[in-house]
Amino acid sequence: MKLLSFLSFFFTASLNLVLAQRVEVRPAPLVFMPAPVDSNSPAFWRDGQLVILNSVGLVLTTSGRDQFYMEDDTTDRIDVETAKNTPLWIEAVWVDTDGTMFAWYHHEPGGLCAGSSLTAPKIGALVSHDYGRSFIDLGIVLESGDPLDCRALNGFFAGGHGDFSVIPDRKNQYFYFLFTNYTGDPAGQGVAVARMAFEDRFTPVGNVYKYYQGDWAEYGLGGRVTAVFPAKTRWERANADSFWGPSVHWNTHLNTFVVLLNRACCQPRWPQEGIYVAFNPDLSKPFGWTEPRKILSDVGFSPGYYPQVLGMGPGETDSVAGKTARLYVHGLSYWELAFH
C-alpha cells in the first residue's frame, strides 16, 4: 500500500510539473535578423561573437557581439564546397568540442512536376572544418519514399521531408531530427522524428533512422514515419491543416526541450493560424511531447511563420536558452518569451 501511495504521489507530482510549464509572451522593442529569412535561422558562438545564419535558398552569415549588435559589414555568403543539392537552406547547426561544425539543410529540387512549380524537399548534412566559414556537402540524409502527388493543392509541395530542426540529447548519444512530412499515409503526415547516433556524425548518409510505430528502424532514405504531431487535414488538400516547421531548443530554466510550431490552416499557400509550444524532457520518447498550446494568433505581419528563439544569456543560441529569450517570427522580434 505504501508503495502504491508513493507511486501515485510520484506520478501526480510529475504530471503537475509537466502541466505547470508555460510560456509568457511579452512585448519588447523590435529586433530583426541581420539578413533575409526564409527558414529557421541557426546561431552559434565563434571567437566571442554570435554568428547567425540566414537562408533564402543561399546562406548568409552575420556576426556581432550579441543579437542586439550585429555588424552589417560582416554579412557574407557562405560557400558550400562540392555542393550536390542546391538551392539549400541551413536550418540547424552543432559545434563539436574541437570546433568542427555540423549543419543540416533543407533542399528543394526543381522540375519534379511538369507544368508546375511544386517541389518535394529533402534534408541533407554539411560539415565545416573552418568554424562555419565554408561547408562540405555530405549528402541527403532524410528523404520520403512516397510517390509525388503533382495534383497537391497546398501551393508549394508535392511531397517530401523538410522544414526541420536538429538537436542532440543531453548525453550526446543521438542527434534528433524533428521534421515536417508532407506526403504519404495520413498517419505519417505532420511533424515526424528521426535520429542518428552521435558517432555517425561524419558519415550521416544511411545512418539516420526514422521513428515508425514505436521503433527507430525505418531508413532515413525512403523509410516510413509516424507523425508525433499529426496533420488534421492532409497536405495534398487545398484546406491542409497541420503543424509544421518545428524549432527546438533545450531550456536550461525548465530542464526540458521546448518546440515552437507553425500551424497552417485551412487554405492554400499555408496561411498561419497560430504559433504553438510544446515540452518534452526526453527526446527518445517521441510521444512525450505535451499537447501543443497556442502562444500567438496574429503576429501583425505576413507571412507570420518561422518562429524560433534566440537565448539572451552567455553562450545561448537558437538551440539553448534560459528563463527569458527573444521570440523571432520570420526574422522579426517584437517579443520576449518568459518560461515558467
pLDDT at 5 over 80: no
Phi, psi of 57 (to 5 degrees): 95, -25
Which residue segments constitute the domains of the chain, with CATH numbers given?
24-339 (2.115.10.20)
Which range, of 16-30, 60-74, 231-245, 296-310, averages the lowest pLDDT?
A: 16-30
Sign of CA dihedral 306, 138, 192, 172: negative
Strand partners, 325: 311, 337
Band the pLDDT of 13: cuts 50, 70, 90.
very low
Give residue-wise pLDDT tens across range 48-93: 999 999 999 999 999 999 999 998 778 899 988 866 899 999 999 9
Grid cell 540529447 is found at 169
Give residue-wise pLDDT tens across range 118-160: 999 999 999 999 999 999 999 999 999 999 999 999 999 999 9
* One-character DSSP codes across 206-261: T-EEEEETTEEEEETBT-----SEE-SB-TTSTT-BEEEEEEEEEETTTTEEEEEE
Phi, psi of 284 (to 5 degrees): -70, -5
Least Cα distance to 228 among 175, 166, 308, 292 occurs for 292
Mean pLDDT across the stretch 20-44? 95
